């Protein structure tokens, strides 16, 4: 009887801790989607995350808001991986057949998933709590599409074809993502469109990493700032630069009068670009 009573008390304690955590890390809706808001006194009261007491032995200088932002970053990395896998599938289609670009996005998908796994392991080492939300390609594309509208990269000038491929590989359909997408796919410059999409995604991911770094710095989390600087931010800068090179090269093949109407010069340039990319990726894999 006493054992049963103790179990009930333990259960009620866990429930109250979970409720307190929700109060500390509440979710609100705004123009950018779901964001976390925090009660700054939560970590002082020891009410950061569910089951915090069970991992208290490893948790040190790890605030509630850091945990929530890291989980958001994990989900963003997983969504990027899912999106890139969809793009890899698109370029493997018989009516597209660009194996070099297919290899690029397949590799990018694995890389983003590795980033997520790295952060999951890190959160567990710090005594955090990882929650995985459902992965939706359409939602990812919509968020990046909206972020690009206010971006200073110049990518907003090509909004008429932004995320059209994403719409094609997601259940919502092309017009659900971007009503300006041309319906006839034979007018698409798939390679250029895909790499502009990827550049928009990587810039968005980088912005979120910078926001996370600033929060970690403000809260005195030296370990996390060090990890972000050495394991993530440098790699993001290199990825953005590389994608910028690809976009510039493919844009040089595009007709001047209409950016979304392919001509024979673009198709030839895209084919040569794809063959070169395929060879370089194969060589990189061998090395």
Q: Which residues are annotated as a binding site for Fe cation?
A: 77, 112, 115, 202, 236
Q: Where does 57-189 have alpha helices with state H?
A: 64-91, 99-126, 137-149, 164-169, 174-177
Tokens of 4: 């049963």
Per DSSP, the chain holds a count of helices (H) and strands (E) of 11, 2
Q: How far is CA 89 from CA 65, 105, 127, 163, 168, in A?
A: 36, 9, 37, 15, 11
Instruction: 214-221: list long-range contacts, CB under 8 Å, 24+ apart.
Output: 215/65, 215/66, 215/69, 216/66, 219/63, 219/65, 219/66, 220/61, 221/61, 221/62, 221/63, 221/66
Binding residues: 77, 112, 115, 202, 236
Say which residues have a Cβ less than 8 Å from residue 205's Cβ, sequence separation at least 6: 76, 77, 80, 236
Tokens 């370990």 locate to: 223
Q: Which residues contact 172 (CB under 8 A, 6 or more apart)?
A: 138
Q: How far is CA 177 from CA 32, 77, 141, 163, 237, in A?
A: 16, 20, 7, 7, 27
Give the closest residue to 247 by CA, choosing from 169, 158, 160.
158
Distance CA(113)–CA(117), nearest Å, equals 6
């Amino acid at each position: 009887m006493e054992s049963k009573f103790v179990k009930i008390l333990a259960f009620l304690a866990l429930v109250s801790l979970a409720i307190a955590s929700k109060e500390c890390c509440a979710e609100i809706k705004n123009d950018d989607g779901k964001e976390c808001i925090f009660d700054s006194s939560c970590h002082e009261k020891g009410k950061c995350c569910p089951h915090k007491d069970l991992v208290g032995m490893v948790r040190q200088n790890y605030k509630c808001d850091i945990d929530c932002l890291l989980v958001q970053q994990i989900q963003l990395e997983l969504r990027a991986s899912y999106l890139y896998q969809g793009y890899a599938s698109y370029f493997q289609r018989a009516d597209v057949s660009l194996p070099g670009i297919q290899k690029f996005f397949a590799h990018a998908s694995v890389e983003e998933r590795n980033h997520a796994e790295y952060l999951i392991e890190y959160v567990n080492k710090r005594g955090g709590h990882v929650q995985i939300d459902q992965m939706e390609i359409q939602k990812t594309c919509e968020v990046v599409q909206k972020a690009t509208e206010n971006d200073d990269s110049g990518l907003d000038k090509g909004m008429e074809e932004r995320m059209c491929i994403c719409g094609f590989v997601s259940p919502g359909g092309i017009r659900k993502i971007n009503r300006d997408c041309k319906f006839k796919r034979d007018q698409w410059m798939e390679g250029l469109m895909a790499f502009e999409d990827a550049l928009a995604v990587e810039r968005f991911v980088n912005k979120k990493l910078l926001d996370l770094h600033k929060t970690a710095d403000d809260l005195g989390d030296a370990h996390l700032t060090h990890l972000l600087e050495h394991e993530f931010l440098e790699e993001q800068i290199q990825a953005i630069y590389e994608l910028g090179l690809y976009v510039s090269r493919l844009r040089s093949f595009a007709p001047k009068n209409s950016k979304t109407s392919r001509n024979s010069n673009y198709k030839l340039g895209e084919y040569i670009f794809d063959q070169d990319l395929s060879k370089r990726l194969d060589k990189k894999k061998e090395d």
